[in-house]
Structure 1
Amino acid sequence: MVELRHFINGEWTTGSNGEKRDIINPATGEMIAQAQEGTAEDAKKAIGAARAAFDSGVWSDLPASERAAYLLKIADKIDEKHDEWTRLETMDNGKPLREADADVSDAAQCFRYYAGLITKPHGETYEVADPMQAMVVREPVGVCGLIVPWNFPLLMSVWKIAPALAAGNTIVFKPSEVTPITPTKLIEVIEEVGVPKGVVNMVMGAGPVVGKEIAESDEVDMVSFTGGTKTGRTIMQAATGNLKKISLELGGKSPNIIFEDADFETAVDWALFGIYAGSGQVCSAGSRILVQESIYDKFVSRFVERAKQIHVGPGNEENVEMGPLVSREHMEKVLSYIEIGQQEGARLVCGGTRLTENGLDKGFFVAPTVFVDVKQDMRIVQEEIFGPVVTIQTFKTEEEAIQLANGTKYGLAAAVFTVDGAKAMRVIKKVRSGITWINSYHPTYNEAPWGGYKQSGIGRSLGTYGLEEFQEIKQININLQVEPIGWFEETTKKKEKEKIST
């Protein structure tokens, strides 16, 4: 049995209360590991270690080139362990091997990207009134609390850890309590390459306990969280204690707009990928498909036909295209939303059930699900389900498509399918979403910013923007003529001037 422990001040340690949490393979329901159940006390120790390390300058004072060298070593180690980590990610999260394989590759490349970026700093100098020179430099924020979700256990960890370390911060990292295996492996690699003690600390455990302590602590300068909007709001409120910097990547209910002039099979194929990749457990999933009226019936028919052909099963089996949901609890939540949709009057035309045949009964599998005849105010249209459930709506005009697309509290992602480039750009510019695609769905890159509008979050991950989230901007003004300013005259000189004037 694998035992997962906290990593605090360079030491692997058990929790202060000795409690453990069972880690379950979602494809089989079997326990595959036990993780320490962190407490507020454990979090405080990790925060203290990170604070001491930052204040000592053991990491932040290193030249950017030296920090980059560490990041490159981490990337090389990930490559060495690629196959092992791919299997572990599939076992822990349930996603098919081909998805896990891509995540591990992207994780290594993310470290390489930020290793390169931090050695090419950009600042500004300003031509101001003589005799002054003004300039701007970027410095690390300080102690950063990083809290990640379970849907991309490794990759989401890297999206935060790589830029935070590149910028010179120290970190307190909380992986999801549901999927801590590959995040723990990442910390092992960080220790292996020799990152100084106290720079990277990890505490496992529940969000309302460990995450709460991180968000509330006055010793933490920033908290970066990816997860649900409700939890993000709680973290934002907790962070007001010391007005710490926050970065929140939250929920989505993203529209996929398909016009009648789109390449039909291309639109269907990408729409399937948009919702069923990751079993729909993706914040940017295209969970609302909006189809122009003239091709609506044809699209629904073809989409359902294709959805029924998706091979669902354990992620480590050959040819599996969609894996299980991450836990029994989450499966029950998704199934409850399917029931809600039917109660609301939406028509279920595909899936809608837990899959138990062919040996799937011990896992947490839900069939690809499609609802039609939905209304904009239905909960299944407005609320994030985070599973393999899609609604398909119809629209008549470009204006109506935009109105429906923007008709939720979220604004994370959106896509448009059309061969009319001008129309695509008109619609994309009016859709209130932070991540958009034209004639595709889901591809994203380390070089480009990731984040949303409205209640989908605050701030951005990835790209130069992702690095800037973990930096403070400092203005420096230099006096090039070192002499008294003479703003306030000395008393004796004032009196002499008064005598002369009289």
Structure 2
Amino acid sequence: MDRDYKAAMLPFFGEGEIGSWVNGAMMPGRGDAFALTDPATGKVFLELNDAGPEVVDAAMKSAASGQRVWWGLAAAERGRILWRIGQQVREHLETLALLETVSVGKPIRDTRVEVLKVAEMFEYYAGWADKLHGDVIPVPTSHLNYTRPEPYGVITQITPWNAPVFTAGWQLAPALCAGNAAVLKPSEMTPLTSLALGVLSKKAGLPDGVITILAGLGMTTGMAATTHAVTRKVVFVGSPKTGAAIAAQAAANIVPCVLELGGKSANIVFEDADLKRAVLGAQAAIFSGAGQSCVAGSRLLVQRSVIDRFLETLVDGANRIPVGDPMDVATQIGPINNVAQYQTIRGLIASGCKEGAKILAGGERPEGDVCANGYFLRPTVLGNVHNDMSIAREEIFGPVVSVIPFDDEAEAVAIANYSKFGLAGAVWTNRVDRAHRVAANVRAGTFWINSYKTINVMSPFGGFGHSGYGRSSGKEGLMEYMQPKSVWTETAENPPAGLGYAPE
């Protein structure tokens, strides 16, 4: 496929200036310029202006106004509009996937799948829109007591650079289903597909202001949005350090948060597993998306009795995986998204080697002209690793797997749980009892048995410990965007008065 940046943007933004999506139209940024870089070439292809506090303030006012209109619609009508957004996403599958690949660096084979998942998200929550109702509580008094699920109002959402279109849909759809307006600030490195979703939502008939997309920097635009008086809840997807800072800001304003943070997930392989399937699963767990996934299986725990045989196959497979131009449908691994992350990954590999780890595969830039200028890294397998090393403790967020041996089930669970994170994990075994026992004992919000990285909008997702709190997706994710109101109505003809005086 041709790397035509303008062709990727034209269907959504036309020839006009790209800014923030505010009140159903593009609003130019008022702050400093920042650049968007193609990770596959290292070349700047677009400059935008930081939205800044003035644009944020206008966005928040329009979001509050739009939310009142949105909540005033019949629930079934809200559902129909959400469904139409999903249909718009499906109709623009190829152009959205192309735009995501250009700006993120993910292979086109992956971005097509992720765009379809975004359509599924809006379609799934469209079905929930007219099924959100309260309960009648049989209180021991003469009152009729019932509950009403109500929206918070305006939700501010911060999403990362590794999967911008996916995480935008992941957060926007349930927020809107519950009757909120959403102000989403994507990473300044990858704002384009989130902005495109704003454009498509208007085509689907969404009232202006219900979806706002802010293009800007975290320390200016992001902070102005999360601390704005109109914000009633903050949802953040990103690093633990930034998440902690945002949660502190929100707490100062008595505003609740949902935090989806990092991971250092343990992928456990027992000697009785189907080793061929486990090797393929281990590769997908860490190398898909160039390892830039919070649930990546970056700690690969293999039972000592089969580790040599397993490693031989794993290393051979890692050396064969096609790395290259993300526009090529044959490419399975594209570049790292940005130069800072690329340097971080290289630094962590070097640090691991100083601590005694050995590079068994990868660790270097692939050969060839295609990978000469972008942020490419061959799939990397590190052996001779123990769980106290920095590469086994810190989130690398790249195509780097640390292989750690274990002797028995108790040791495997202990190693898996010896982490500040608790986002995901997996076990590969043919013993049913062991599979469910390990799943119960590993502290993680999502756990797979004889598979890895299957995620669906119907199922709740979130972490334990430093991986965050609250849930995205599923019914549980929807509940994060609503708050219950309890209503009491006196039904007695002459209710007793507990206090006070009234004349006869």
Letter in 2 for 1:265: K
Distance 1:332 1:489 in 2: 72
Given the two structures, how large is their TM-score scaled by the length of structure 2? Answer: 0.94
Q: How many residues align?
A: 490
Given the two structures, how large is their TM-score scaled by the length of structure 1? Answer: 0.95
Paired residues of 1:324 and 1:365 also in contact (CA < 8 A): yes
Paired residues of 1:214 and 1:223 also in contact (CA < 8 A): no
Of 76, 97, 109, the match for 1:65: 76
How has the CA–CA distance of structure 1 residues 83 and 53 changed in structure 2, closer, same or farther, with 3 Å as cutoff? closer
Of 25, 40, 48, the match for 2:38: 25
Paired residues of 2:365 and 2:371 also in contact (CA < 8 A): no
How has the CA–CA distance of structure 1 residues 402 and 491 changed in structure 2, closer, same or farther, with 3 Å as cutoff? same
Q: For each residue in 1:8-55, what CA deviation from the matched residue of structure 2 results, as whole angstroms up to 9, or x when unmatched?
A: 2223111123x332211111122333333221222222122222333x
Of 290, 296, 302, the match for 1:285: 296
Once the two structures are superposed, the pairs formed by residues 246-395 of structure 1 within 5 Å of their partners are 246-395=257-406
How has the CA–CA distance of structure 1 residues 156 and 487 changed in structure 2, closer, same or farther, with 3 Å as cutoff? same
Distance 2:447 2:166 in 1: 20
Paired residues of 2:36 and 2:47 also in contact (CA < 8 A): yes
Q: For each residue in 1:74-120, what CA deviation from the matched residue of structure 2 results, as whole angstroms up to 9, or x when unmatched?
A: 11111111111111111111111111111011010110000001222
Distance 2:299 2:273 in 1: 17
- Give percent identity, aligned residues only: 37
Q: For each residue in 1:200-246, what CA deviation from the matched residue of structure 2 results, as whole angstroms up to 9, or x when unmatched?
A: 22211111211111222222100111111111001000101221121
Ranges in structure 2 where 5+ consecutive residues have no aligned partner? 1-5, 10-16
Matched residue, 2:28: 14
- Displacement of 1:473 in angstroms is 1.2
Distance 1:452 1:492 in 2: 60
1:240 matched to 2:254? The reply is no
Matched residue, 1:82: 93
Distance 1:253 1:355 in 2: 26
How has the CA–CA distance of structure 1 residues 281 and 197 changed in structure 2, closer, same or farther, with 3 Å as cutoff? same
Ranges in structure 1 where 5+ consecutive residues have no aligned partner? 494-502
Distance 1:304 1:279 in 2: 16
| RMSD, matched Cα | 1.5
Partner SS, residue 405 of structure 2: strand
- Displacement of 1:484 in angstroms is 4.2
Once the two structures are superposed, the pairs formed by residues 377-456 of structure 1 within 5 Å of their partners are 377-456=388-467
Distance 2:367 2:376 in 1: 7
How has the CA–CA distance of structure 1 residues 415 and 90 changed in structure 2, closer, same or farther, with 3 Å as cutoff? same
- Displacement of 1:122 in angstroms is 4.0
Once the two structures are superposed, the pairs formed by residues 129-208 of structure 1 within 5 Å of their partners are 129-208=140-219
Matched residue, 1:498: none
Partner SS, residue 370 of structure 2: coil
Letter in 2 for 1:422: D
Matched residue, 1:496: none
- Displacement of 1:132 in angstroms is 2.0
Paired residues of 1:21 and 1:34 also in contact (CA < 8 A): yes
Partner SS, residue 119 of structure 1: helix
Of 457, 465, 473, the match for 2:476: 465
Partner SS, residue 251 of structure 1: coil
Once the two structures are superposed, the pairs formed by residues 490-501 of structure 1 within 5 Å of their partners are 490=501
Paired residues of 2:148 and 2:485 also in contact (CA < 8 A): yes
Distance 1:44 1:84 in 2: 31
Paired residues of 2:424 and 2:445 also in contact (CA < 8 A): yes
Q: For each residue in 1:434-459, what CA deviation from the matched residue of structure 2 results, as whole angstroms up to 9, or x when unmatched?
A: 01100000011111001111110110
1:475 matched to 2:483? The reply is no
Paired residues of 1:71 and 1:162 also in contact (CA < 8 A): yes
- Displacement of 1:362 in angstroms is 1.1
Segments of 4+ in structure 1 off by > 4 A?
A: none
Letter in 2 for 1:24: T
Matched residue, 1:53: 66
Letter in 1 for 2:66: A
Letter in 2 for 1:39: G
Q: Greater shift after overlay, 198-207 or 382-391? A: 198-207
